[in-house]
Amino acid sequence: MRKSILLSAAAAAMSLGVAGCDRRADGAGDAAGSSAAVEAVKRTEQAMLQEMKSANAAKVAAYYANDAAVMFPGDKPTEGSQAIAKRYDAMMADKAFALDIVNARTTVAASGDLAYTRGTYRATYTDLGSKQPVSETGNYVTVFKKQTDGNWKIVEDISAPGFPEAAAAAAAAPAG
């Protein structure tokens, strides 16, 4: 499996940026505590981002529920926090590994026990063929579930490589 595909999934798992987060809790506008739940998910994402930047796969995996699944493009789901930790450990061993995230939306269900984040990512890693750093852009969705102790953990994580960076830059540029 190509390393870039694995990094796409890492980016999905790292739906961590807080810039650009939507503070809405769709469908939960009248639910007490919906704003607090959105903020709790964002804090969880930020804490996980710090562990990712520290290249601590075990601590990153601790943000996943024991039965979580990460869907790496082109491969069967990686299931369980221990298997997820092994995948991240291999990715973070790459000295070129870097990840930037733009979280476009954070939404909490009216029930207050499920949430998702959605956005874009840019991952950098060492290409296995050329041995040179390359970058990839894409989209992600990460689903969180509130645990009985009140903490939020990831239960499903999926990413998809997007269009080439030149096209992404052009799409993001102001018209005119």
Q: Which residues contact 70 (CB under 8 A, 6 or more apart)?
A: 9, 12, 13, 64, 77, 78, 84, 87, 157, 158
Determine, yes or no, domain membership for 81: yes
Average pLDDT rounded to a whole number, residues 104-132: 91
Tell me which residue range forms the domain holding 65: 3-162
- Percent of the chain at pLDDT > 70 equals 72
Q: What is the pLDDT of residue 45?
A: 82
Domain count, the chain: 1
| 3-state SS class at 119 | strand
Determine, yes or no, domain membership for 172: no
Q: Model pTM?
A: 0.76
> What tens digit of pLDDT does each residue of 129-176 get?
999 999 888 898 999 999 999 999 999 999 888 865 555 555 455 555
Determine, yes or no, domain membership for 175: no
Determine, yes or no, domain membership for 53: yes
Determine, yes or no, domain membership for 171: no
Residue 65 is part of a domain; what is its CATH number? 3.10.450.50
CA pair distance 88, 154, nearest whole angstrom: 15
The helix (run of H) or strand (run of E) holding residue 143 is strand 133-146
CA pair distance 140, 117, nearest whole angstrom: 8
Q: What is the pLDDT of residue 30?
A: 41
